[in-house]
Structure formats: structure tokens, C-alpha cells
Chain A
Amino acid sequence: MQLLLQLAINGVAIGCLYALVAVGFAVIFGVTRIFHFAHGATYLLAAYAYYATVSIFHFSALVGLGIAALVAMAFGSACERLVYRPMLRSESSFLTVFVASFGLFIVVENLIVLIFGSGFSTLESALSKGLLFGPFELSPVGIIAIGGSAVLLLGLELFLAHTDAGTALRAMADSAELVQIIGLDRHRCAQLAFAAGSLLAVPAAVLSVHLSGLSPQSGASMILIAMASTIVGGIGSLYGAALGGVVLGVAENVGIWRLPASWGDGIAFGVLLLFLLLRPAGIVSALRR
């Protein structure tokens, strides 16, 4: 029983990281209707930018975080400006945009393999060591993950609810045509959504470097989990995406209780398929009912 709770706690910590990536993906999808698979590449770039600054060039973690944020935002808005915008001008279908995004992801993933190698790297720090809370163990990174993602999601909520830019984003999520009619710049809204969404992936990337290490393969599994989270939560709902991330994180970790650890991914996606079968509209709609 104690083990089960410990696994659930680990699951929540990791689930919070999933939640951040998933919410970033959901912001971009909600505002622009672009299925941004390359969000996984944003995550990878942020993680490796942080790793390179801290571990190879020996800067402080704060500098690493700043550089990771810059890289992620630059990549996100470059995707919008250089790939998606020309495609949407010619009314491309969902599939063509998705495939282009996929191609972009493959390019970035393999460039990282070419530069950093395909191996697994870890970054040792005092923050990764576990602290004891009664019978349970949680590393400071885990605490930062849980607290930080709560703060960031609250910040996103305040931004969306109380700023002009946030209102514009919400308006665009409702109807892109109306936004144009009232004279807002659609492209600027899209840029903003990509910047904000990409920025949310940064803390997840940095923390997971400390929490579980990094490898070029982690980008694909992260974006898959993030997409699964948005669906489990219910597409269109940011809270749903966050909740979905936590649910999948917990499911993956609690599953290890009875099954070998390598079943983790399989369990997470089993939960996804169950939701698709039983509650295709996601957790949020199930709770409302």
C-alpha cells in the first residue's frame, strides 16, 4: 500500500510535466487548429539547450533556463511563420499540415542525434536527490514540478482571462473569422499562441532533464503523451489537458506496481484507448455530466 502511494506521488510529479507540455499543445491547437506534432521538437530543443548550457558550457541553471526559453520560443514562432502560415494560406487540409509538422519533428530529432549522439544523458544535481516526508520520498525537482506547474497554469489562466492579448487568444479559439472581422491580426494571435505554447514546454523539459535524464527519443514519447493527454482530458479544454497529463502520469507509474517498468508507455496508451472507447469527449465532459 505504501509502495502504491509512493508510485502515485511519483506519477503526479511526472504527470505535472506531461500536463505542461499538453497544455502548451492544447493552447496552440485551440487557437490555430494546427496539430503541432513538432511541439515534441520544441521540448527536445529546450531540453538539449538547457543541458548544453549547464553541462557543457558550465553556466548556471538560471542562464540555462533562459536560453532554453529563447530557443523554444524562436523555434515555435519559426514553425508558425515559415511552415504553417504559407500552408494555411493555400487552405491545406488537416493531414498535410500534420504531416509537415511530423517531418519537422523528424528533422529536429535526428539533428539532435547527429550533434549529441543517440545515447541517454543525465545531469546530476543536488535537486535530484530524494527527501523523506514521513514514509514517502520526493525529490526537490518533483516538488518544483508540482508547485511550478500549478503556478504556471494559474498564470496562464490569469493571462487568458485578464489581459487583452489573452482575450484575443480566447476569441480566436472561438472563431478565427470573427477575430479578423473585428480587426485583430490573425497572424499575430497565432504567433502569440505559438510563443506561449512553446514557452510552457520549457519548464517541463528542464525539470525532466533533472528528474529522468534526456535522450533524443524522449521528444517523441513526450509529444505522444501530450497528445494523448489532450484527448483524455477532452480536446478544447486546457484544464482537461492538464488533468489528462496527471492522469496518464499516475496511470503509467501505478501500473509499474504489478507490471514490469517497460509496460509504462503501453499502460498510458491503454488508458487513452479506453477513454476513446468509453468517453470520447474526455474527462472534463464526464465530470460535468
Chain B
Amino acid sequence: MIPYAESLLIFTSLAVILASSLNLMLGYGGMFSAAHAVFYGIGAYTASLLALHVNSSILLCVPAAMIAGGVAGALLAVPALRVKEEYFVVASLGFQVIASTVFNQWVAVTGGIGGLTGIPPASFMSIQVDSYGGYLVLALLCAAGVLIALKLLVRSEFGRALRALRDDEAALQALGRDPVRLRVATVVIAAMLAAIAGAIYAYFTSFVNPESFSLDESILIMVMVIIGGTGTLTGPVLGAVFITTFPALLSFVQIPSTILGPTQRVVYGAVITLLMIYEPEGLLGFLRRISRVASFSALRRWQPSTSSS
């Protein structure tokens, strides 16, 4: 039971990294991408290849994964610069399909559908991370690091310019900022952060294959951000926790696994659609509304008068 809870927490931390980094593009930059699993995958493959053939040190694999992810991010950003939001969604979908094809077909490097196996555990200086607990610490540290980095970034001059870009591109240009550079930088940063999650994933499972980085995964990451609430730091964390723990809750119910997957997805789909119709700000908006109601509720105001009695 404890290893199960630990691995669930590790996957939740990875989901937090993925959703929060996508939120930088989606929520702050207004760039709607359905290709985030590509960067997750490139991070995972880069780290696996280095760990298998060179050295499994975190100090080597994680930075290398980030660089590879960043390069892929720049590739996605190029078509994105020329097109508006509807087009960017489709461009990102196209990017995801092409990347999945490459993951599946470039057998010499990615191992094809069979993937890469036997990836050695992570090492840091002379410490080997080989227990669930060790990976949990590593994943939590990375998630915390990513969240802190994002928080600093969003509050910085860069973050303000990014929000200005989302809300009024012309005004930003009038202020002398270059929207093109801003967009490329955003996608590259988001991709680098997602690649960190990929590296940890590769170490932890010691096995990567294209299935983990498919369009479905990209959609799931997107759903986390949207269900949680875009454009805030808390929203995607909330969404990531909800989406990763929700199937775990369902798995306590005795349903055969062939039905479980589709049933979960029907529920996700319905939740997304209903949220968008009734609560476009996501779970966070919902919680805010509840707390607003609660703070005005009779329960809160109910103060038994002690003076009269």
C-alpha cells in the first residue's frame, strides 16, 4: 500500500510539473498547445539514452533533457509565430502527431514501440536513488523547484510582458517589446520545464515507450490545466492532483480494466464540457465561488450574543 501511495505521489508531482509548465504558455501566454507530451517525451528519451550509454548522473541527464526539450520547443514556436490562436492549436496537434510518428518509427534511437528498457537509476554525486522514497523526494523537490521558478518568472518583468501579450498584443508592441521573441522564449521555457518531468519519469519507471507521450497524454495535461483553472499558479496544481488521483479512486471500485479506461475518459470529457459551460474558470473558480458563498453564509455570521443572556 505504501509503495502504491508513494508512486501515486511521484506521478502527481510529475503531473504538477507538466501542467504548471503548460500553463505558462496557455494561461499566461495565451498559446493553446496540445503538444506538451512531446517535450515530456523528449526529456525522457534524452535522459534515458544518456543514462544508458554515458552516465546516469542527474547533473548530466536533467540539464541535457532540458536542452533537448528547449530545442524541440523552439521548433514548435517557429510555426506558431506566424499564426493566430486557432491555427496554433492545429499546428501543435500536427507537431504532436509528427513527434509521435518519430517516437514510434525511429527505432534505432527510440527503440520503436518496444521503447527503451533497463534505464539505470538516478545518481547524484555518489548517492544512488533506488527506492520509492528516494524518487518521491526527488520528484517533490523538482516540482517545488519548478513552481518556485514559475512564480518568480510570472512576477518578473517577463511575466508582466507575457500577460500583456495575451491581453493586448498591439499595446505591447507600442511599448517596444518584441512579441515574437517573447513567444519563443515562453514556449522554450515551458518545454524545458516539461523535459525535467520526462527525465524523472524515465529514471523512476526505468522504461520509456511512445505510448506515454502520445496525443492522449498531451490532452490529459491540457485537461489538468483547464480543469484546474488557467492563468493562476494554484489552478494547474489542483487540476494535476485531481486528474492523477481520480483514476486511483475509481480503481478501488471493482470494474474490469477494459471498461475502466473508457469510463474514466467519458467522465473527464463530461466534466470538461460542463465546467466550460458553467464554470469556465475551472475548479479554482468553483472553489472561489464556494468560499465566497461560505464567507457570506449564515453559518459564518451566526454569532450567539453573549451579552444579553
Contacts and interface: CB of A to CB of B under 8 A. Distances in A.
- Is the contact region of chain B dominated by helix, strand, or loop, or is it mixed? helix
B271 interface: yes
A68 interface: no
B268 interface: yes
Contacts of A95: 32, 85
Given A266-B97, A266-B101, A269-B94, A110 B262 contact: yes
Interface residues of B, number: 40
Contact of A107 (B89, B104, B273): B273
A276 B87 contact: yes
A100 B263 contact: no
Of the four ranges (under 10, 10 to 19, 20 to 34, 35 or more), the interface on chain A belongs to 35 or more
Interface in B86-102: 86-87, 89-91, 93-95, 97-98, 100-102
A98 B32 contact: yes
A272 B266 contact: no
A83 B262 contact: no
A163 interface: no
A35 B86 contact: yes
A179 interface: no
B265 to A, nearest CB: 4
Contacts of A96: 276, 280
Nearest to B96: A269
B269 A272 contact: no
Interface stretch (A10-18, A49-57, A186-194, A224-232): A224-232
A227 B276 CA distance: 22
A109 B270 CA distance: 12
A83 B262 CA distance: 22
B215 interface: yes
A269 B32 CA distance: 18
Interface string A127-157: 0000000000000000000000000000000
Interface of B: 32, 78-79, 82-83, 85-87, 89-91, 93-95, 97-98, 100-102, 104-105, 215, 219, 222, 226, 259, 262-263, 265-266, 268-274, 276-277, 280
